[in-house]
A and B are shown apart, each in its own frame.
Chain A
Amino acid sequence: QVQLVESGGGVVQPGRSLRLSCAATGFSFSNHGMHWVRQAPGKGLEWVAVAWSGINRQDYADSVKGRFTISRDNSKNTVFLEMNSLGADDTAVYYCARDYAFSLDLWGQGTLVTVSS
């Protein structure tokens, strides 16, 4: 079954860190770029980061650059998002998504991150 399943969300205190995972099944993971996109409560979709396949390149939104790190393990078909120095503005549902011609053609169900003391 072709799918993405996120995990690792939860409640975290401001200033702390959290690591999200996204496991891919049913397709050639190593052939695709992988993204993280988030949606804060009551807000729209916000792109966060992408990890490319085949080249060692990652790109980030300005809002997370220097605090978040995206990585991937092709042997485990998994993409990660390491989030540091979390603030209230990072509270959101985090989705991972597969790249297709610079569109995002497959999405997970999301994992909720709540930053609160």
Chain B
Amino acid sequence: EIALTQSPATLSLSPGERATLSCRTSQSVGTSLSWYQHKPGQAPRLLIYDASNRATGIPARFSGSGSGTDFTLTISSLEPEDFVVYYCQHRNNWLWTFGQGTKVEIK
């Protein structure tokens, strides 16, 4: 089973700043990695699939990059509604795995 490790656990930034979130996998996964945003009390939302493809309706300030074992979610300029939790996810051998999450909080 492939493990996903997200860092940092918490990221403290101010609105307008750039956020860089990391997800590392224990084995190479090519570009088979997705990112989700989860606001409290709401349904999670797919942001990025296949490492770098923005899902439908996702603002351009969200971008994904990486391949192999190292992946990055970048939020170019944080809006107030972006201060929530983000998860990476991978599918391997018919098992889906999520990272433990990164919380982006207001500094």
B34: A residues at CB distance < 8 A: 102-104
Stretch with Cβ within 8 A of A (4 or more), from B10-18, B67-75, B90-98: B90-98
Across the A-B interface, the 5 shortest Cβ-Cβ residue pairs: A47-B96, A107-B43, A103-B49, A102-B91, A103-B34
Taken together as a complex, chains A and B put the C-alpha atoms of A103 and B93 apart, in Å, by 14
Question: Is A87 an interface position by the 8 A CB rule?
Answer: no
**B44 touches which of A45, A50, A102 (Cβ 8 Å):** A45
Known: A46-B98, A108-B43, A110-B43. 4 other contacts (CB 8 A): A45-B44, A103-B46, A106-B46, A109-B42
**A-B contacts, 30 listed (Cβ < 8 Å):** A37-B96, A44-B85, A44-B98, A44-B99, A44-B100, A44-B101, A45-B87, A46-B98, A47-B98, A59-B94, A59-B95, A101-B49, A101-B50, A102-B91, A103-B34, A103-B46, A103-B49, A103-B89, A104-B34, A104-B36, A104-B44, A104-B46, A104-B89, A105-B46, A105-B49, A106-B46, A107-B45, A109-B42, A109-B43, A110-B43
Question: Is A27 an interface position by the 8 A CB rule?
Answer: no
A59: B residues at CB distance < 8 A: 94-95
A110: B residues at CB distance < 8 A: 43
Taken together as a complex, chains A and B put the C-alpha atoms of A61 and B1 apart, in Å, by 11
- Residue-by-residue, is A42-54 near B (CB-CB < 8 Å gives 1, otherwise 0)? 0011110010000
Taking beta carbons and an 8 Å cutoff, which residues of A are in contact with B? Answer: 35, 37, 44-47, 50, 59, 61, 95, 97, 100-110
Most buried by B among A100, A103, A109: A103
Interface residue total, chain B, C-beta cutoff 8 A: 25
Main secondary structure, interface of B, reads strand
Main secondary structure, interface of A, reads strand
Taking beta carbons and an 8 Å cutoff, which residues of B are in contact with A? Answer: 32, 34, 36, 38, 42-46, 49-50, 55-56, 85, 87, 89, 91, 94-101
